[in-house]
Structure 1
Amino acid sequence: MTFSDSSQFKATETIDGIPYFINSYWTAKQRQSHSIHEISYRACFKAQLPEFFIQKLTQPGDAVLDPFMGRGTTPVQAALMGRRAYGNDINPLSILLTRPRLTPITLQQISDTLQTIDWSRGKIEREDLLAFYHPTTLKKLEALRLWLAERAPLHATNVDPIVDWIRMVSINRLSGHSPGFFSGRSMPPNQAVSVKAQLKINQKLDVTPPERDITALILKKSKSLLRDNCVPHRVLHKLQTGAAWEIDVPDASINLVVTSPPFLDIVQYATDNWLRCWFSGIDPKTVAIDIHRTEKAWTAMVHRVLKEQIRLLSPGGHVAFEVGEVRKSKVLLERLVWQAAEDMPFNRLGVMVNEQQFTKTANCWGITNGLKGTNTNRIVLLQKR
């Protein structure tokens, strides 16, 4: 099926020569997708977005790619739908968040493996992290880091899937606002505050971090993630770390690309993920995440990415390029993507706008829903000629 084959897509309006398709294509409600997607990450789209395009534009066995996979929403959804899953991101953290969810796993396997950890090995290496953790909890986190480093080195490819899963869940329990996290009360888990900011939170609330049961919290989160089961069987997948314009995938092998790049300079991924990087053994300074401060620089980046998609896509394959909205809607990034694709062998099909009303994490930073931040999904649809 192609986009143009569907009677569902009729242009609502045309602005500056660009057809816009405006509707509520998928729900904006929270926690409506498969439970295995409930891994927090800054500036990620809902699983309903790739699900929509995978359902409309691919068949079982087709290959789906996200060159900016972040927490892995696109490849995980592709796997759930029986497609081959491909993903790439410049941050090695992305593989740690994505790979464990592409292999069948059971809660009993997780529980049995947790019992093999020697929790007495941990020693506090960073006193400043006591702003987040009770001393006993921090020692156990250090023991867990040692255990993971021995059994699942950062850049290893042949990793025990149970160990891989435990690391993924641990990364997502490092800090948060409820007793379900390893830390004392902090900000929402998709962006770690600085040590200085955490000390201020502790002082304001007049609290010290309580001791947490790490094993129990890992099992609790695992049970939640697996409540809708996991991928039904081991799927063909390939995940890699690198630039989105240098992907190690054969020519004309991808049927669909669903992706969302960094939006100009508004999200500081390395800063937000500093605590996760510490736990995983990643030096944030070595992660060359592009931050584009001008429209010209951002458009040039998109051009490089789309040029690579031309190489990767099979004839007739599609790109769904989600850009949201930024800077109080004064900068319409879909226009820049449209411009970047102008001289390429793409049919530029239009811009889908999924309208939505919802409560988002940005609310806690003083950003009002519907007025600031990203309030619509704006997806540029392209088809390789």
Structure 2
Amino acid sequence: MGVSASYQIQDLPLQWRSAPRRWGHPLHSLCSYFAMFPPQLAHFFVDWLTEPGDAVYDPFSGRGTVPLEAVLQGRRGYGSDANPLAVVLSQAKTRVPSKRTLLKRLAEIEASFVPSDVSIADEPANIAMLYSDDTLRQLVWLKKQLDRTDDTDCFWVATILGMLHANHNKSGVPRGFSISMPNTFAMAPGYVAKYIKEHGLVRPEVDVFDMLRTRLERLDLPTAKRSGGKTWTHDATAPPPSWLVKQRPKLIFTSPPYLQVIKYGKYNWVRLWFLGETSSEVDQRLMASSSLTRYLGFMKSVSENLKKVVADDGYVCFVIGDVRRGEEDLNLAQAVWDDVLQDQGWHLHGIIADEIPQNRKVSRIWKHNSGRATKVDRLLLLSPTAQNLPDVIPSSWTQQLSFANKHSLNS
């Protein structure tokens, strides 16, 4: 017997907060990403509000958490984003090649690699300071050979992006290809250069191909390709593609950008180099503003488009964090409802407060700026028309999902 969702809607965070912190398929950690919500959260809503075969969509797909959870639970997972980094990461999780195919492709690229034929003379100094010459030649070769429009190559690109920079373990062994760096973000090039000089950091000699093969062993990949969805480049303020409107997703679950919390391009300049992109150009494409008026206008366009997409009996959930404005926290989700969504005719099931443990927030590392980090995420749960929510059946969280078992935890 389920628990009445409408009666205890404010208690819903207890459902996903009860899961082990490290719960989730290994592919969720393929590459880190700023402002990512945990897979437990996405899993709960996909399991609760959809059935196998339904379509699930995230218009700000980030690292692909929602589409991956959809695919793992036998749904169709769709994701779009204006950030090319997000598109690659999400595509890798909706169209997952087999381990055998991936190893075969990597062997082909390695067999054609002749170090003396690969020039690194024209690579930016900011990149060259991170990698040994031999490692950089391997990366440059992979960069030239991999075609991210191909599913197998795209998966390798995403895997490489997750290893381009990482810290070293306590014994000094590199976890990635670079000097010891945080794996979530890349500090400004000037800061990194100064840090290297002050601490005498030495570029590690690592074999990229060997490290990639080792990484693959930990990802619990399918024995046959899983094409469970699709990812594409899209500005959420632009009209949705007609084919998506025909799909009528049962659930749209997403976390739009907040009020100027972070520059996604600026702190991913190393990964964007591998994608042939520049951080300044990427940040120009993405919503980042401290103007509440502009933000509400942005959300108006986004929500108007999503109303054309979601199924008549479907649901939309926005995850929107509180934002520090001066000495006070702004309940941004409430502002979006009051000033935008209410006038569009959405049915509000509730605004659910989900308090975030501060030791889990990436932005705590910014010291004097850390107060800008949101302490509360709020989930704006909507439907295009009035309807009842299904009962909640608590998850046991005792079983990890895999591609071999496409059933949800509650099966």
Contact 2:250-2:315 within 8 A present in 1 as well: yes
Residues 367/212 of structure 1: CA separation in 2 closer, same or farther (3 Å cut): farther
Unaligned runs of 5+ in 1: 13-19
Moved more, 52-61 or 99-108: 99-108
SS in 2 for 1:254: coil
How many equivalent pairs are there? 362
Residues 100-119 of structure 1 mapped to structure 2, 5 A cutoff? 100-117=92-109, 118-119=112-113
C-alpha contact (below 8 Å) 1:136/1:211 kept by paired residues: yes
* 3-state SS in 2 of match to 1:24: helix
* Distance in 2 separating the partners of 1:123 and 1:260: 41
Distance in 1 between residues matched to 2:276 and 2:331, nearest whole Å: 37
8 Å CA contact 2:165, 2:176 repeated in 1 = yes
The whole-number CA distance in structure 2 between the counterparts of 1:311 and 1:345 is 13
Question: Is residue 166 from structure 1 mapped to residue 156 from structure 2 by the alignment?
Answer: yes
Q: Is the 8 A contact 1:122 1:141 kept in 2?
A: no
Residue identity opposite 1:318 in structure 2:
Y
Written as runs of structure 1 = structure 2, the 5 A alignment for 1:4-19 is 7-10=4-7
Which runs of structure 2 are paired with 1:326-337 in the superposition (5 Å)?
A: 326-327=323-324, 330-337=329-336
* Conserved 8 A contact 1:337-1:380: no
Q: 1:231 & 1:303 partners in 2: Cα distance?
A: 43
Residue 138 (structure 2) aligned to one of 137, 140, 159: 140
Contact 1:264 1:298 in 2 (8 A): yes
Structure 1 match to 2:407: none
- Say whether residues 1:197 and 2:181 are aligned partners: no
Residues of 2 paired with 1:316 and 1:280: CA distance? 39
Give, as a single letter, the amino acid of the residue that structure 2 aligns with 1:331.
L
Residue pair 1:251, 1:311 contacting (<8 A) in 2 also = no
| In structure 2, C-alpha distance between the alignment counterparts of 1:377 and 1:258, rounded to whole Å | 14
Structure 1 residue 211 displacement after superposition: 1.2
Match of 1:123 in 2: 119
Q: Is 1:37 aligned to 2:28, yes or no? A: yes
Which has the higher mean CA deviation after the structures are superposed, 175-184 or 280-289? 280-289
Cα distance per residue 1:285-309 (max 9 Å; x no partner): 4431111211111111111111111
Post-superposition CA distance 1:134-187 (Å, at most 9, x none) = 121112111111111xxx1x5x3xx1x33222111111111121211110111x
Regions of 4+ moved over 6 Å = none
Aligned CA distance change for structure 1 residues 334 and 21 (closer, same or farther; 3 Å): farther
CA distance in 1, matches of 2:224, 2:201: 44
TM-score by length of 1: 0.86
Is the 8 Å Cα contact of residues 9 and 21 (structure 1) preserved in structure 2? no
**RMSD of equivalent CA atoms:** 2.4
* TM-score normalised according to structure 2 size: 0.81
Equivalent position SS for 1:61: coil
Task: Give the secondary-structure state (helix, strand or coil) at the position aligned to 2:183.
Answer: coil
Q: Is the 8 A contact 2:356 2:376 kept in 1?
A: yes
The CA distance in 2 between the partners of 1:364 and 1:326, in whole Å, is: 17
Give me the whole-angstrom Cα distance separating, in 2, the residues matched to 1:107 and 1:352.
40
